[in-house]
Structure 1
Amino acid sequence: MLIQTVALKDVSVFAYHGYYPEEQVLGRRFLVSISVTFQHIGDTENLQHTVNYEVLNTILLGEMENTQQLLETVVKNILDRVLTTYDFLITATVGIKKMFPPMPGEIHHSFVELNYTKP
């Protein structure tokens, strides 16, 4: 069996997620990644036999517009929509990096990731 991967890595999005009220007012840059795997069918010229990464991008951009306090919620919402859209996935991973989170120290990014594996 051949397993195919389709992914978007570090899609840059400005959004207003954050636990603290000022984060939801000021906003910040996030990098979102999605990676999915599924059985390769063989017809490499038919979008019906693959995962369209334009659809993945539309899902992640839509969910990033819905302000949440916790990135865990955003990651779960993205993953749920991807799994609903593509029920044939074997695995799926969604991760979000919050760039330069507002806390002491020089932190390049915080990171939340959720993984799905078909039972």
Structure 2
Amino acid sequence: MLTIALESVRFFAHHGFYEQERIIGNHFVLDVLVQLPEPEHPSQLGESVNYEALFSISKAVMEVPQQLLEQVVHDISEKVKARFPVISYSKVTLRKQAPPFGGDLAYSCVALEKQY
């Protein structure tokens, strides 16, 4: 099994349940991990997953404000699988820095794992 991942990709985005969060925006950290069977010809990108494309998909989804982070990780997961049908597993984790509910914490986190 081959694993390809983006780790700790930083975005400033306008996701949040409260309208003020979607206006002001916040800092987010994204991890995207996919697994696929080992390619027959590992020197050919066409048999693998291009991590530049993973970033491009993630960036496009992160640019669309959503109320729930659950929707964001779902959208990334669906678009990655559509672009790379060969993947057999994905995990998308999104962390929101200092969520505005008065607690002393670094991040809130939502993760979606899928076995295909």
**Fold conserved (TM > 0.5)?**
yes
Structure 1 partner of 2:88:
90
Identity %: 34
Structure 1 partner of 2:16:
18
Residue type of the alignment partner of 1:28: N
CA deviations on 1:73-102 (whole Å, 9 max, x unpaired) are 011000000010111111001110001100
Distance across 1 between alignment mates of 2:4 and 2:64: 24
CA deviations on 1:17-71 (whole Å, 9 max, x unpaired) are 0011110111000001100000112422211011000000000000000000000
Distance across 2 between alignment mates of 1:15 and 1:58: 15
Distance across 2 between alignment mates of 1:42 and 1:12: 33
Compute the TM-score of the two structures, normalised by the length of structure 2: 0.97
**Superposition RMSD on alpha carbons, in Å?**
0.8
Structure 2 partner of 1:31:
29
Structure 2 partner of 1:58:
56
Residue type of the alignment partner of 2:10: S
Give structure 2 stretches of 5+ with no counterpart.
Answer: none
- For the pair 1:111 / 2:109, whether they are aligned, the reply is yes
Structure 2 partner of 1:68:
66
- Please give the secondary structure, in 2, of the residue aligned with 1:103: coil
Distance across 2 between alignment mates of 1:69 and 1:80: 18
- Please give the secondary structure, in 2, of the residue aligned with 1:17: coil
Residue type of the alignment partner of 1:85: R
Give the superposition deviation at 1:104: 1.6
Structure 2 partner of 1:43:
41
Distance across 1 between alignment mates of 2:55 and 2:6: 8
Give structure 1 stretches of 5+ with no counterpart.
Answer: none
